[in-house]
């Protein structure tokens, strides 16, 4: 079915947009199981790491007790493999009883009692990606009601084992079904990544009306190559993707893998910086029980988080790809501020990159520049001043820039102190 026929088919569906519930005016933050813990269902031999209620309780405890919640990390999200292999006698999805003996509603209360929110996973095909019961078209309303009855706060709706027509019908129908429950549920759609991620096969205007966020591209893996592959795809297609994002509607390049095994410290800073520039969801997938200090410092960097959570909600862009293999990324922020990232694609030595704010199309004048990851500031940098930035191989330098005015407004002053 071509894009025109798909649009005509969607016109037959009466929809109430998921955005009616007013959620996710800034990108969601939290923790998700998949990248780090996959589909480990062996709770007999691996009770600490299997997909079961104890894992999610542990992560809720860590978010609540280790300073994450106060920074905005509020969602604890279950991914695939939580279900029993059969629905219950009423046709409802049910958790595996040996791994979730208390049920999802009780787990939701545990998470809510800690001031957090619970997310869950479903798939609109005949089976989930890992072979558990799917949510076919005839089950969408029932499953939405079930999730609401459990007081779930977030749904990731995958698309394995479904076809394009089912996806075209199912993703909008789930949006309406969630709204009809009366419970505010954040809705993450995987629809674009099953359609190549780009127009004309992906209608981002429609997605913004029915979903709060959507997966555009392939799953992230625990490697620097995977991070770069995602960044390159998003940057190469930024003219199509960047306008689609805004408050309540976010492109999702997938999880933060900081704190696992595949990234150096410099590469971890790079992922955090680039996800902040892209206005991406900050959903960690790591083991919060065993996180080293460098990973914690990166993920809890207040200025990087503030840039990501900027209320304007404008996704940033790649400005330059230099022959030196330095790339420059930029994002406009509220109060006339902005963020710059200098990324090195080199593998040899730190590189001294020379430029000026004028060369990067900044307006004339003086700027206060704050280095996000080392906390230093450069006062009164004029736009025409030649600057030299030393960037480590596969690392970044990230700046927060604020125009210096004769009289700084109170709101700018408050924002500046909040970032620091």
Instruction: Determine whether 310 is an active site residue.
Output: no
Q: Which residues, 6 or more positions from 367, have their beta carbon under 8 angstroms from its beta carbon?
A: 357, 380, 381, 382, 383, 401, 402, 403, 404
Q: Give the burial class of 319: count Cβ atoms within 10 A of its Cβ; 0-12 exposed, 13-18 middle, 19 or more buried.
A: middle
Average of pLDDT values for 74-86?
98
Question: Which tens digit of pLDDT belongs to each residue from 299-320?
Answer: 999 999 999 999 999 999 999 9
Q: Check 158, 254, 287, 310 and give the catalytic one.
A: 158
pTM assigned to the model: 0.94
Question: Which tens digit of pLDDT belongs to each residue from 190-244?
Answer: 999 999 999 999 999 999 999 999 999 999 999 999 999 999 999 999 999 999 9
**Domains identified in the chain and CATH numbers:** 3-308 (3.20.20.70), 317-419 (2.60.40.1180)
Question: Which tens digit of pLDDT belongs to each residue from 380-404?
Answer: 899 999 999 999 999 999 999 999 9
| Higher per-residue pLDDT: 129 or 411 | 129
Predicted confidence (pLDDT) at residue 20 exceeds the cutoff of 80: no
Q: Quickly state the pLDDT bin for 367 (edges 50, 70, 90).
A: very high
CB-CB contact of 365 with 329 (8 Å): no
Tokens of 410: 């109170």
d(CA 82, CA 96) in angstroms, rounded, equals 6
Question: Among the listed ranges 3-12, 14-23, 166-175, 374-383, which one has the minimum average pLDDT value?
Answer: 3-12
Instruction: Determine whether 158 is an active site residue.
Output: yes
**What DSSP element (H or E) covers 57?**
helix 53-65
Measured on CA atoms in the order 348, 349, 354, 357, is the torsion positive or negative? Answer: positive
Q: Check 40, 66, 209, 219 and give the catalytic one.
A: 219
Predicted confidence (pLDDT) at residue 7 exceeds the cutoff of 80: no
Please give the pLDDT value at position 5.
44
Please give the pLDDT value at position 14.
47
d(CA 108, CA 158) in angstroms, rounded, equals 21
- Helix, strand, coil percentages (3-state) for the chain, rounded to 5, are 35, 20, 45
d(CA 391, CA 340) in angstroms, rounded, equals 13
Q: Which residues, 6 or more positions from 394, have their beta carbon under 8 angstroms from its beta carbon?
A: 224, 264, 266, 267, 270, 344, 345, 346, 347
């Amino acid at each position: 079915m071509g894009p025109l026929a798909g649009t005509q088919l969607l016109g037959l569906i009466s929809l109430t947009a998921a955005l009616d519930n007013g959620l996710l005016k800034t990108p969601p933050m939290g923790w998700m199981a998949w990248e780090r813990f996959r589909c480990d269902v062996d709770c007999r031999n691996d009770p600490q790491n299997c997909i079961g209620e104890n894992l999610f309780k542990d992560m809720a405890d860590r978010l609540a007790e280790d300073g994450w919640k106060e920074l905005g990390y509020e969602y604890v999200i279950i991914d695939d493999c939580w279900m029993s292999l059969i629905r219950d006698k009423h046709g409802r999805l049910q958790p595996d009883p040996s791994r979730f003996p208390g049920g999802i509603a009780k787990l939701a209360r545990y998470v809510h009692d800690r001031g957090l929110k619970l997310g869950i996973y479903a798939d609109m095909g005949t089976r989930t990606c890992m072979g558990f019961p799917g949510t076919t078209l005839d089950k969408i309303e029932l499953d939405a009601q079930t999730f609401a009855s459990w007081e779930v706060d977030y749904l990731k709706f995958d698309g394995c084992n479904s076809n394009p027509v089912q996806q075209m019908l199912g993703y909008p129908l789930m949006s309406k079904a969630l709204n009809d429950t009366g419970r505010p549920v954040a809705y993450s759609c995987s629809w674009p990544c099953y359609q190549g991620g780009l127009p004309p096969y992906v209608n981002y205007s429609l997605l913004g009306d029915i979903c709060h966020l959507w997966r555009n591209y392939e799953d992230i893996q625990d490697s620097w190559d995977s991070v770069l592959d995602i960044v390159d795809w998003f940057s190469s297609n930024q003219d199509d993707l960047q306008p689609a994002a805004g408050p309540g509607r976010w492109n999702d390049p997938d999880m933060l893998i900081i704190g696992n095994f595949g990234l150096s410290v410099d590469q971890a800073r790079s992922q955090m910086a680039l996800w902040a520039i892209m206005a991406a969801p900050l959903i960690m997938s790591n083991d919060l029980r065993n996180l080293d200090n460098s990973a914690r410092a990166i993920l809890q960097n207040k200025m990087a988080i503030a840039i990501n959570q900027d209320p304007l909600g404008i996704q940033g862009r790649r400005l330059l790809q230099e022959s030196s293999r330095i790339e420059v990324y930029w994002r406009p922020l509220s109060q006339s501020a902005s963020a710059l990232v200098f990324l090195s694609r080199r593998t040899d030595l730190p590189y001294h990159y020379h430029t000026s704010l004028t060369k990067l199309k900044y307006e004339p004048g003086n700027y206060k520049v704050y280095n996000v990851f080392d906390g230093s500031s450069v006062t009164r940098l004029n736009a025409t001043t030649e600057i030299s930035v030393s960037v480590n191989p596969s690392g970044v330098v990230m700046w927060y820039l604020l125009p210096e005015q004769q009289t700084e407004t109170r709101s700018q002053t408050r924002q500046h102190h909040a970032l620091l």
